[in-house]
């Protein structure tokens, strides 16, 4: 059976292929569901705008509970127009996003990542 994983990622075209390639390598999934917004870690951290937060949650629900995705990656990135903050300010948002999404979907493994100016993916350590 084909396997799904899910990415919560920015809508920025520069980070789509790096995230899909990373997620496939990391999880062995055949398909990566993409939940995209401009700067989604900002939305998950602030819990606003509420309709967007709800939309992100609904799409994650389809990925996890209909497609059976068991791994969710959450991504912040360099030069984000939707969340124009430096890495050191985005990493706490990524951590808060991981906590929130893990609370919604306890059956899934949820991990956070940073994408740098070379479009390389790095884990955001939890603490």
Contact 95, 86 (CB under 8 A): no
Task: Say how many Å lie between the first and final Cα of the chain, rounded.
Answer: 35
What residues numbered 80-119 form the site for Zn ion, per CB under 5 A? 80, 82
Q: How many residues bind Zn ion (CB under 5 A)?
A: 4
The residue (of 3 and 78) whose beta carbon lies closer to Zn ion is 78
Q: Residue 108 to residues 31, 44, 85, 90, 126: CA-CA distances in angstroms?
A: 16, 17, 28, 23, 16
What residues numbered 11-40 form the site for Zn ion, per CB under 5 A? 12
Closest CB 80 distance from Zn ion, rounded Å: 3
Distance CA 125, CA 61 (A): 25
Asked if residue 10 binds Zn ion (CB under 5 A), the reply is yes
Closest CB 38 distance from Zn ion, rounded Å: 6
Site residues (CB under 5 A) for Zn ion?
10, 12, 80, 82
């Amino acid at each position: 059976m084909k396997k799904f994983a899910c990415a919560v990622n920015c809508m920025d075209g520069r980070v789509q292929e790096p995230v899909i390639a990373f997620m496939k390598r990391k999880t062995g999934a055949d398909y990566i569901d993409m939940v995209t917004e401009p700067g989604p870690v900002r939305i998950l951290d602030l819990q606003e705008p509420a309709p967007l937060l709800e939309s992100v949650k609904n799409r994650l629900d389809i990925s996890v509970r209909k497609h059976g995705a068991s791994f969710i990656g959450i991504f912040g990135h360099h030069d984000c127009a939707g969340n124009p903050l430096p890495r050191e300010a985005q990493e706490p948002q990524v951590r808060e996003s991981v906590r929130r999404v893990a609370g919604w979907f306890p059956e899934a493994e949820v991990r956070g990542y940073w994408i740098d100016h070379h479009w390389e993916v790095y884990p955001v350590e939890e603490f």
